[in-house]
Amino acid sequence: MVEQQKFLVYRNSGNGDIHYDRFEIPVSKGMSVLDALFYIQDHYDSMLAFRYACRGAICGSCGIIIDKVPLLACRTQVSTVKTAKKPINLPEFRFGDHPDWNQETEILIEPLPNMTILKDLVVDMKPFWKFYKEIEPFFNRKWNDIAPESTQSPSQMKKIERLVYCILCGLCWACPVSIKNPNYLGPAQLAKAERFISDSRISKEKQKTIVSCILREDAVPACEKYFVCNRVCPKGVMPGTAIKNLRYEWMDK
Protein backbone atom coordinates (compact mmCIF):
# COMPACT_ATOMS: atom_id res chain seq x y z
CA MET A 1 0.00 0.00 0.00
CA VAL A 2 1.19 3.48 -0.83
CA GLU A 3 1.96 5.51 2.22
CA GLN A 4 -0.25 8.56 2.72
CA GLN A 5 0.68 11.85 4.31
CA LYS A 6 -1.66 14.51 5.62
CA PHE A 7 -0.96 18.19 5.09
CA LEU A 8 -2.62 21.14 6.79
CA VAL A 9 -2.18 24.08 4.43
CA TYR A 10 -2.67 27.76 5.17
CA ARG A 11 -5.11 29.39 2.76
CA ASN A 12 -5.64 33.08 2.28
CA SER A 13 -7.86 34.33 -0.51
CA GLY A 14 -6.41 37.81 -0.24
CA ASN A 15 -9.98 39.01 0.35
CA GLY A 16 -10.22 38.30 4.04
CA ASP A 17 -10.96 34.59 3.99
CA ILE A 18 -8.25 32.84 6.01
CA HIS A 19 -8.40 29.16 6.89
CA TYR A 20 -6.45 25.90 6.76
CA ASP A 21 -7.20 23.11 4.26
CA ARG A 22 -6.46 19.48 4.87
CA PHE A 23 -5.07 17.28 2.07
CA GLU A 24 -3.98 13.67 2.10
CA ILE A 25 -1.56 12.62 -0.60
CA PRO A 26 0.34 9.48 -1.60
CA VAL A 27 4.04 9.78 -0.78
CA SER A 28 6.68 8.54 -3.21
CA LYS A 29 10.35 7.92 -2.51
CA GLY A 30 12.38 11.11 -2.42
CA MET A 31 9.29 13.33 -2.49
CA SER A 32 9.95 16.89 -1.39
CA VAL A 33 7.42 19.20 0.22
CA LEU A 34 7.45 21.16 -3.04
CA ASP A 35 6.52 17.96 -4.91
CA ALA A 36 3.70 17.51 -2.40
CA LEU A 37 2.42 21.04 -3.07
CA PHE A 38 2.47 20.34 -6.79
CA TYR A 39 0.57 17.12 -6.16
CA ILE A 40 -2.12 19.07 -4.33
CA GLN A 41 -2.26 21.68 -7.09
CA ASP A 42 -2.38 19.08 -9.86
CA HIS A 43 -4.93 16.75 -8.29
CA TYR A 44 -7.02 18.55 -5.68
CA ASP A 45 -6.94 22.30 -6.06
CA SER A 46 -5.39 24.03 -9.07
CA MET A 47 -5.88 27.35 -7.28
CA LEU A 48 -3.39 26.63 -4.49
CA ALA A 49 -0.84 29.42 -4.86
CA PHE A 50 2.86 29.05 -4.07
CA ARG A 51 6.08 30.17 -5.74
CA TYR A 52 8.67 27.83 -7.24
CA ALA A 53 11.28 27.65 -9.98
CA CYS A 54 14.40 25.47 -9.86
CA ARG A 55 13.38 22.73 -7.35
CA GLY A 56 17.13 22.38 -6.64
CA ALA A 57 17.69 24.89 -3.82
CA ILE A 58 19.46 27.50 -5.94
CA CYS A 59 16.76 29.95 -7.09
CA GLY A 60 15.34 30.98 -3.71
CA SER A 61 11.66 30.95 -4.74
CA CYS A 62 10.04 28.37 -2.50
CA GLY A 63 10.71 29.54 1.04
CA ILE A 64 7.79 28.66 3.32
CA ILE A 65 7.18 27.60 6.91
CA ILE A 66 6.94 23.86 7.45
CA ASP A 67 5.88 22.71 10.93
CA LYS A 68 6.79 26.18 12.21
CA VAL A 69 10.30 26.13 10.71
CA PRO A 70 11.32 28.40 7.78
CA LEU A 71 12.60 26.10 5.03
CA LEU A 72 12.98 25.74 1.27
CA ALA A 73 10.09 23.48 0.21
CA CYS A 74 12.18 21.87 -2.54
CA ARG A 75 15.00 20.79 -0.25
CA THR A 76 12.77 19.40 2.49
CA GLN A 77 11.94 15.71 2.23
CA VAL A 78 8.38 14.80 3.22
CA SER A 79 9.64 11.67 4.93
CA THR A 80 11.97 13.52 7.27
CA VAL A 81 9.86 16.54 8.28
CA LYS A 82 8.79 14.91 11.53
CA THR A 83 12.20 13.52 12.44
CA ALA A 84 14.54 16.31 11.26
CA LYS A 85 16.39 18.27 13.89
CA LYS A 86 14.84 21.70 14.23
CA PRO A 87 16.79 24.91 14.72
CA ILE A 88 16.61 26.06 18.33
CA ASN A 89 15.05 29.27 19.67
CA LEU A 90 12.92 30.27 16.73
CA PRO A 91 10.30 32.96 17.23
CA GLU A 92 6.69 31.83 17.28
CA PHE A 93 5.07 32.29 13.87
CA ARG A 94 1.30 32.79 13.86
CA PHE A 95 -0.82 33.16 10.74
CA GLY A 96 -4.22 31.90 11.82
CA ASP A 97 -5.92 29.46 14.16
CA HIS A 98 -5.38 25.76 13.69
CA PRO A 99 -6.43 24.24 17.01
CA ASP A 100 -7.02 20.87 15.36
CA TRP A 101 -3.50 20.48 13.97
CA ASN A 102 -2.27 17.01 14.84
CA GLN A 103 1.43 17.69 15.30
CA GLU A 104 2.33 14.00 15.25
CA THR A 105 0.82 13.14 11.91
CA GLU A 106 0.10 16.29 9.93
CA ILE A 107 2.61 18.52 8.16
CA LEU A 108 1.70 22.16 8.64
CA ILE A 109 2.39 24.46 5.71
CA GLU A 110 2.42 28.24 6.12
CA PRO A 111 3.87 31.23 4.23
CA LEU A 112 7.03 33.15 5.08
CA PRO A 113 6.62 35.41 8.11
CA ASN A 114 6.87 39.19 8.37
CA MET A 115 5.73 39.83 4.84
CA THR A 116 2.27 40.73 3.60
CA ILE A 117 0.41 37.66 2.37
CA LEU A 118 -0.98 38.12 -1.13
CA LYS A 119 -2.56 34.70 -1.62
CA ASP A 120 -2.11 31.37 0.16
CA LEU A 121 1.67 30.86 0.39
CA VAL A 122 2.58 33.80 -1.85
CA VAL A 123 3.96 36.78 0.05
CA ASP A 124 4.71 40.31 -1.07
CA MET A 125 8.45 40.43 -1.74
CA LYS A 126 8.43 44.15 -2.65
CA PRO A 127 9.88 45.36 0.68
CA PHE A 128 12.53 42.64 0.46
CA TRP A 129 13.68 43.86 -2.96
CA LYS A 130 13.31 47.51 -1.97
CA PHE A 131 15.70 47.09 0.97
CA TYR A 132 18.02 45.02 -1.21
CA LYS A 133 18.21 47.93 -3.66
CA GLU A 134 18.70 50.45 -0.89
CA ILE A 135 22.10 49.09 0.01
CA GLU A 136 23.10 49.63 -3.65
CA PRO A 137 24.44 46.11 -4.03
CA PHE A 138 26.68 46.45 -7.05
CA PHE A 139 30.12 47.28 -8.30
CA ASN A 140 30.26 50.73 -9.85
CA ARG A 141 33.40 50.22 -11.87
CA LYS A 142 33.31 51.08 -15.53
CA TRP A 143 32.69 47.95 -17.57
CA ASN A 144 35.85 46.77 -19.20
CA ASP A 145 36.34 43.91 -21.63
CA ILE A 146 40.04 44.23 -22.31
CA ALA A 147 42.50 41.78 -20.73
CA PRO A 148 43.81 41.45 -18.16
CA GLU A 149 41.02 41.24 -15.60
CA SER A 150 41.48 42.86 -12.20
CA THR A 151 43.14 40.42 -9.84
CA GLN A 152 42.03 38.98 -6.55
CA SER A 153 43.93 36.43 -4.52
CA PRO A 154 42.23 33.14 -3.61
CA SER A 155 42.30 34.15 0.05
CA GLN A 156 40.66 37.51 -0.71
CA MET A 157 38.03 35.64 -2.70
CA LYS A 158 37.49 33.28 0.23
CA LYS A 159 36.44 36.24 2.36
CA ILE A 160 33.35 36.82 0.24
CA GLU A 161 32.68 33.26 -0.90
CA ARG A 162 30.20 32.35 1.81
CA LEU A 163 28.36 35.64 1.27
CA VAL A 164 27.94 35.32 -2.49
CA TYR A 165 26.11 32.02 -1.94
CA CYS A 166 23.03 33.95 -0.73
CA ILE A 167 20.02 33.05 -2.88
CA LEU A 168 17.80 35.88 -1.59
CA CYS A 169 15.11 33.43 -0.51
CA GLY A 170 13.96 35.57 2.42
CA LEU A 171 13.96 32.80 5.07
CA CYS A 172 16.11 35.04 7.27
CA TRP A 173 13.27 37.54 7.48
CA ALA A 174 11.98 35.24 10.20
CA CYS A 175 14.20 37.46 12.38
CA PRO A 176 12.47 38.70 15.58
CA VAL A 177 13.59 42.25 14.72
CA SER A 178 11.69 42.05 11.41
CA ILE A 179 8.57 41.17 13.42
CA LYS A 180 8.52 44.43 15.30
CA ASN A 181 10.31 46.77 12.91
CA PRO A 182 9.03 46.81 9.32
CA ASN A 183 11.82 49.22 8.39
CA TYR A 184 14.62 46.86 9.42
CA LEU A 185 16.74 46.31 6.32
CA GLY A 186 16.95 42.60 7.02
CA PRO A 187 19.69 39.98 7.40
CA ALA A 188 19.99 39.04 3.71
CA GLN A 189 20.34 42.68 2.75
CA LEU A 190 23.06 43.31 5.34
CA ALA A 191 24.89 40.13 4.34
CA LYS A 192 24.79 41.42 0.76
CA ALA A 193 26.26 44.71 1.98
CA GLU A 194 29.08 42.80 3.68
CA ARG A 195 29.65 40.85 0.45
CA PHE A 196 30.49 44.13 -1.32
CA ILE A 197 32.17 45.95 1.55
CA SER A 198 34.64 43.12 2.09
CA ASP A 199 35.37 42.48 -1.60
CA SER A 200 39.03 43.41 -2.19
CA ARG A 201 38.12 44.89 -5.58
CA ILE A 202 35.64 47.49 -4.35
CA SER A 203 36.66 51.16 -4.46
CA LYS A 204 37.04 53.03 -1.17
CA GLU A 205 34.39 55.47 -2.28
CA LYS A 206 31.82 52.81 -3.11
CA GLN A 207 32.64 51.01 0.12
CA LYS A 208 31.91 54.23 2.02
CA THR A 209 28.49 54.59 0.39
CA ILE A 210 27.44 51.09 1.42
CA VAL A 211 28.88 51.53 4.91
CA SER A 212 26.89 54.71 5.45
CA CYS A 213 23.74 52.82 4.48
CA ILE A 214 24.33 49.93 6.90
CA LEU A 215 25.04 52.32 9.76
CA ARG A 216 21.50 53.67 9.52
CA GLU A 217 19.33 53.20 12.56
CA ASP A 218 17.26 50.50 10.84
CA ALA A 219 20.27 48.57 9.62
CA VAL A 220 23.20 47.13 11.61
CA PRO A 221 22.36 49.02 14.84
CA ALA A 222 18.86 47.48 14.81
CA CYS A 223 20.17 43.91 14.94
CA GLU A 224 19.57 42.40 18.38
CA LYS A 225 21.88 39.41 17.90
CA TYR A 226 19.27 36.65 17.99
CA PHE A 227 21.12 34.83 15.17
CA VAL A 228 17.86 33.26 14.00
CA CYS A 229 19.05 34.16 10.49
CA ASN A 230 22.17 32.02 10.86
CA ARG A 231 20.10 29.08 12.04
CA VAL A 232 17.49 29.18 9.25
CA CYS A 233 19.74 30.14 6.31
CA PRO A 234 19.67 27.22 3.85
CA LYS A 235 22.97 28.15 2.24
CA GLY A 236 25.29 28.71 5.17
CA VAL A 237 25.59 32.43 4.44
CA MET A 238 25.43 33.27 8.14
CA PRO A 239 23.97 36.77 7.80
CA GLY A 240 24.10 37.26 11.57
CA THR A 241 27.84 36.73 11.55
CA ALA A 242 28.15 39.15 8.64
CA ILE A 243 26.23 41.76 10.66
CA LYS A 244 28.45 41.06 13.67
CA ASN A 245 31.53 41.61 11.49
CA LEU A 246 30.10 44.83 10.09
CA ARG A 247 29.40 46.07 13.60
CA TYR A 248 32.93 45.21 14.75
CA GLU A 249 34.58 46.67 11.67
CA TRP A 250 32.59 49.88 11.23
CA MET A 251 30.64 50.71 14.40
CA ASP A 252 32.63 49.73 17.44
CA LYS A 253 35.77 51.45 16.23
Q: Which residues, in sequence order, are bridge partners of residue 145?
A: none
CB of 23 to another protein, least distance (A): 15
Specify whether the CB–CB gap between 20 and 9 falls below 8 A: yes
CB of 201 to another protein, least distance (A): 7
CB of 176 to another protein, least distance (A): 26
Nearer to another protein, 168 or 223 (CB): 168
CB of 182 to another protein, least distance (A): 20
Nearer to another protein, 163 or 177 (CB): 163
Phi-psi region of 14 (alpha: psi -120 to 50; beta: other; left: phi over 0): left
What are the C-alpha distances in Å from 176 to residues 93, 173, 186, 187, 238? 10, 8, 10, 11, 16
Binding site for another protein (CB under 8 A): 14, 29-30, 32, 38, 41-43, 46-61, 75, 118-120, 122, 125, 129, 132-133, 136-154, 156-157, 160-161, 164-165, 167-168, 196, 199, 201
Q: How far apart are CA 198 and CA 145, in angstroms?
A: 24
Nearer to another protein, 61 or 114 (CB): 61
Nearer to another protein, 103 or 140 (CB): 140
Give the E-state strand segments of 105-253 in sequence order.
Answer: 106-110, 117-119, 122-123
In angstroms, the first-to-last Cα distance of the chain is 65
